[in-house]
Amino acid sequence: MVRLLFRIKVEQFGVTAKMLAGQTLRSLDRPLFIALALGAGGVASLLVMLIDNPLHLLVAVAGVLTVIGMTLNPELGLLVLVFTTYTRFSDIMIKYHGMPSVAKLLVPLLFGLVVVRWVWSGKRPRGWRRSLLIVTGYGFIGFLSLLYASDFERTEEALISYAKDATIAVLATILIHRAATFRRVIWTLLAVGIFLGTISVYQHLSGTFENEYWGFGQAKIRNIVGRVEDYRISGPLGGPNEYAQMLVVLVPLALDRLWGERTRLLRVFAAWALVVCVLSIVFTFSRGGFIALVGTLMVMFIRRPPGLLALLITIMVAVPLVQFIPEQYTERMQTVVDLFPGSEQDAREEISFRGRLSENTSAWLMFTDRPLLGVGLDNFPIYYQEYSRRLGLDPRREIRSAHSLYLQIAADQGLLGLTAFGVVLWIVFRGMHKGYQDFIRAGSPDYANMTVALSVGIIGFLIGGIFLHLIYPRFLWLLIGIALAVPHVAKRELRERGEALDRV
């Protein structure tokens, strides 16, 4: 009896202590927020006095508010990281506006917040070890290139760039730990599509190609078909093909949210993202982007077939877009058939096809000459002219890159690199499939559908990679980081669902 009374007293004391602690924390909330508000106001005042450029001032104030918001909720930092990475915000601010790198400040700050949260709460982040092992393993293959690459500096710079991309991938995996966060990340990507796509569509329809829209609306005169040249939009990338490739990823995400959102407003935003992304892909005049878009839509409709109502809505959204397709676009896409045997037109007669044929054939020859390890990470360009002269297809005497992601890896890193990349993709898609199954078992079909849409989006990026080398690998590694978080998020959702059922 004495022990029982003692235990009750201890438990009562514990409850009382927790209540007092909660009251203390709540009592500190107001002073804390007052201090943060005063600090933010003081910093904002200093910024107003020290910064003359209105854009610089706006970005600086937004940065201060973001840091405060990230301190209170690191998830906000994740969404900012996704948005700034997929818009190339940091690079645009540096190149066009002379501002310091946002990424160099944002990434270390986010890692610091993760560590602080880990130490403070005692909750260890999930999934980071697996993600770190994957990106480190793939990076080690590139590191081996330092032992034999002819141009050591190119390989070193490529490894440093990869380390930054891998860091973002791991950070995304760490911070996406709840299904709700996964959903917000998807909508952040769609916000990127709305932001960039709206600029691109307006730029094309209004003909304001000389206005680069703060760096997010680049466009240059390039070959369209035959001797016809015209503006091709490039968004924040500077290359129309690469811009089309990154936008293709967003199309299945927009379709899924158009079909799956319950509120009318969100469906409107999803339709907005879908329309401007598809039109922007068209306005790039990218043949690779067109093939990737068609392939992505086919996979999406097979893997995630819509209901009758959703299909009718999609048709209503898509049909009006036909009137905006330029006549020259159709002519350019028809040249794709010239690549197939038996075509009346020889693809080698077009300079762009001839150049790509030379680049890809050179990559294949480099791979066959050094099949195991390749010529070294990012060393294809320094060998290209040697192989190009043998072929006699490309009159250009400049550094070029392989025009295919897979041939690029084969030439640079050989079978070892191709195998490692294949393993990474296998882990990613296997994890998303498992996550899809766990979401279904947890009674969360909406999250399961978002998982399918993300996997289809990555497939679209990889289809585009058949015709493009990886100029901006950060997009792919960000998507891989998000995808690697999916199985852990789904497992948590399934576990919480089981616990809720147990309580019932």
In this prediction, residue 47 has a pLDDT band, given cuts at 50, 70 and 90, of very low
Higher-confidence position of 137 and 19? 137
Of 424, 415, 486, 488, whose CA–CA distance to 455 is shortest? Answer: 486
Confidence at residue 25, expressed as pLDDT on a 0 to 100 scale: 37
Written as six digits, the tokens of 287 are 């043949």
Averaged pLDDT for residues 208-230: 90
Confidence at residue 443, expressed as pLDDT on a 0 to 100 scale: 93
Task: Report whether 347 contacts 360 (CB < 8 A).
Answer: no
Written as six digits, the tokens of 293 are 């878009």
Confidence at residue 431, expressed as pLDDT on a 0 to 100 scale: 96
Confidence at residue 9, expressed as pLDDT on a 0 to 100 scale: 39
pLDDT in tens, 281-333: 999 999 999 999 999 999 999 998 998 988 898 999 999 888 999 888 988 88
Task: Report whether 113 contacts 68 (CB < 8 A).
Answer: no
Per-residue exposure over 152-177, b if at least 16 CB sit within 10 Å of its own CB, e if not: eebbbebbeebeebbbbbbbbbbbbb
Confidence at residue 130, expressed as pLDDT on a 0 to 100 scale: 87
The Cα 266–Cα 257 span in angstroms is 8
The Cα 455–Cα 490 span in angstroms is 15
Of 350, 361, 365, 275, whose CA–CA distance to 313 is shortest? Answer: 275
Percent of the chain with pLDDT over 90: 58
In this prediction, residue 57 has a pLDDT band, given cuts at 50, 70 and 90, of low
Written as six digits, the tokens of 247 are 């936008």
Dihedral of alpha carbons 34, 36, 38, 41, sign: negative
Task: Report the greatest alpha carbon distance in the chain.
Answer: 99
Helix axes 351-369, 380-391, angle to 10 degrees: 110
- Residue 41 clears pLDDT 80, i.e. is over it: no
Dihedral of alpha carbons 318, 320, 324, 330, sign: positive
Confidence at residue 22, expressed as pLDDT on a 0 to 100 scale: 42
In this prediction, residue 342 has a pLDDT band, given cuts at 50, 70 and 90, of low
Which region among 278-282, 336-340, 354-358 has the lowest average model confidence (pLDDT)? Answer: 336-340
- Residue 343 clears pLDDT 80, i.e. is over it: no
Confidence at residue 56, expressed as pLDDT on a 0 to 100 scale: 64
Averaged pLDDT for residues 56-79: 75
Confidence at residue 24, expressed as pLDDT on a 0 to 100 scale: 39
Other CB atoms within a 10 A radius of the CB of residue 132 amount to 17
pLDDT in tens, 85-132: 999 999 999 989 888 888 888 888 888 888 877 777 767 777 788 899
pLDDT in tens, 461-483: 999 999 888 889 999 999 999 99
> From residue 260, how far is each of 3, 127, 247, 255, 263 by CA, in Å?
57, 28, 20, 8, 9
Task: Report whether 259 contacts 310 (CB < 8 A).
Answer: yes
- Residue 359 clears pLDDT 80, i.e. is over it: yes
- Residue 136 clears pLDDT 90, i.e. is over it: yes
Written as six digits, the tokens of 263 are 């509120």
Dihedral of alpha carbons 117, 75, 55, 37, sign: negative
Written as six digits, the tokens of 167 are 């860091």
Higher-confidence position of 136 and 392? 136
Of 415, 397, 396, 398, whose CA–CA distance to 406 is shortest? Answer: 415
Averaged pLDDT for residues 485-500: 87
In this prediction, residue 392 has a pLDDT band, given cuts at 50, 70 and 90, of confident
Identify each DSSP E strand in 212-256 by its residue range.
218-225, 228-235
Dihedral of alpha carbons 69, 70, 75, 77, sign: positive
In the chain, % helix, strand, coil (3-state, to 5) comes to: 80, 5, 20
Identify each DSSP E strand in 158-227 by its residue range.
218-225
- Residue 398 clears pLDDT 80, i.e. is over it: no
Please give the backbone phi and psi of residue 223, each rounded to the nearest 5 degrees, phi first.
Answer: -65, 135
The Cα 141–Cα 75 span in angstroms is 32
The Cα 366–Cα 388 span in angstroms is 11
> What's the pTM value of the predicted model, to 2 decimals?
0.87
pLDDT in tens, 433-459: 999 999 999 999 999 999 999 999 999
Confidence at residue 31, expressed as pLDDT on a 0 to 100 scale: 54
- Residue 44 clears pLDDT 80, i.e. is over it: no
Which region among 95-104, 137-146, 230-239 has the lowest average model confidence (pLDDT)? Answer: 95-104
Confidence at residue 504, expressed as pLDDT on a 0 to 100 scale: 53
Higher-confidence position of 4 and 214? 214
Please give the backbone phi and psi of residue 154, each rounded to the nearest 5 degrees, phi first.
Answer: -60, -45
The DSSP code for 319 is G
Averaged pLDDT for residues 32-54: 50
Confidence at residue 48, expressed as pLDDT on a 0 to 100 scale: 46
Percent of the chain with pLDDT over 70: 82
- Residue 139 clears pLDDT 80, i.e. is over it: yes
- Residue 252 clears pLDDT 50, i.e. is over it: yes
Confidence at residue 32, expressed as pLDDT on a 0 to 100 scale: 45
The Cα 462–Cα 454 span in angstroms is 12
Task: Report whether 127 contacts 488 (CB < 8 A).
Answer: yes
